[in-house]
Amino acid sequence: MQISEELRQRFARAQRVFVLTGAGVSAESGVPTFRGGGHTAVWKGLPFDVISSAEMLERNLPAVWEWFDYRRDFLESILPNAAHYEIAHWQERFPEFTLVTQNVDGLHHKAGSRDVIELHGNIWRARCIDCRSSYDMSKGKRPEACLECGDALRPDVVLFGEMLPAGAFEIASEHASRCDLCFVVGTSGLVYPAAGLPEIAKAAGAYVCEVNPEQTPLSSLCDATLLGKAGEVLSLFRS
């Protein structure tokens, strides 16, 4: 795997860098992706887009909690990989840097990234289904019910058919439209509106570089597709 001279020069000169990540950035840490690779997430016979849906939340909140509790237990011992660390390093390297992730695992934060825009929420938080009070589960168990209003709690993640956190996509798209270099790392590019961000960057004149072992629906709009694992490919940018 080689990085073209053009990309190296753009990387060296970039002023405003925008990175969008997906499940593939955590794959080398051992976190299963949602799609592809033979490890499509299934929980007790239910595909992830059924169990991680607004409909299932309405129908069976305990089942949704069981699925997310299982994943949090699994994530507890998982560490960031070279890709998370390289991306964290970039925040010091460029005058302007924006990291937008679709991941809920918190591994970018664990690697030292600051101000991460989490489009799909965070698995370590619960929130009240009514008053939206937030509870940090990284420091211990969640309460049985909301301490403010007594209503039920739910995982603070964005399920299929739900809106993204207020303002998150608008802020992300504003940064995408101002960047000069955009990296799209480890996402299948199938889930919207997140998958629209590279299109916004491209339309605004940015050079768009994808990092993924496989081609995706976004590949055709990218100026470069670096076919490989995120940790291995991003490490090549270290000079």
Specify the amino acid at residue 47: P
Asked whether the beta carbons of 155 and 64 are under 8 A apart, the reply is: yes
- From 84, 108, 120, 175, the catalytic residue: 120
Among residue numbers 58 through 77, which ones bind ligand BJW (CB under 6 A)?
none
Could you tell me which stretch among 1-9, 28-36, 128-136, 145-153 binds ligand BJW (CB under 6 A)?
28-36
Q: Does 226 bind ligand BJW (CB under 6 A)?
A: no
Q: Of 59 and 150, which CB lies nearer to ligand BJW in the complex structure?
A: 59
> DSSP secondary structure string, 47-95?
EHHHHTBHHHHHH-HHHHHHHHHHHHHHHTT----HHHHHHHHHHHHSS
Q: What share of the chain is helix, strand, coil (3-state, %, to 5)?
A: 35, 20, 45
188 scored as a contact of ligand BJW (CB under 6 A):
yes
For ligand BJW, the closer CB: 16 or 72: 72
CA separation, residue 234 to residues 25, 33, 104, 130, 203 (Å): 10, 19, 21, 42, 24
Nearer to ligand BJW, 98 or 216 (CB): 216
Mark whether 109 is an active-site residue: no
Q: Which residue do the tokens 């002023």 mark?
A: 15
Residue 214 makes contact with ligand BJW by CB under 6 A: yes
Return residues touching ligand BJW (CB under 6 A): 22-24, 27-28, 33-37, 48, 52, 102, 104, 120, 157-163, 186-188, 190-193, 211-214, 216, 229-230
The residues annotated as belonging to the active site are 120
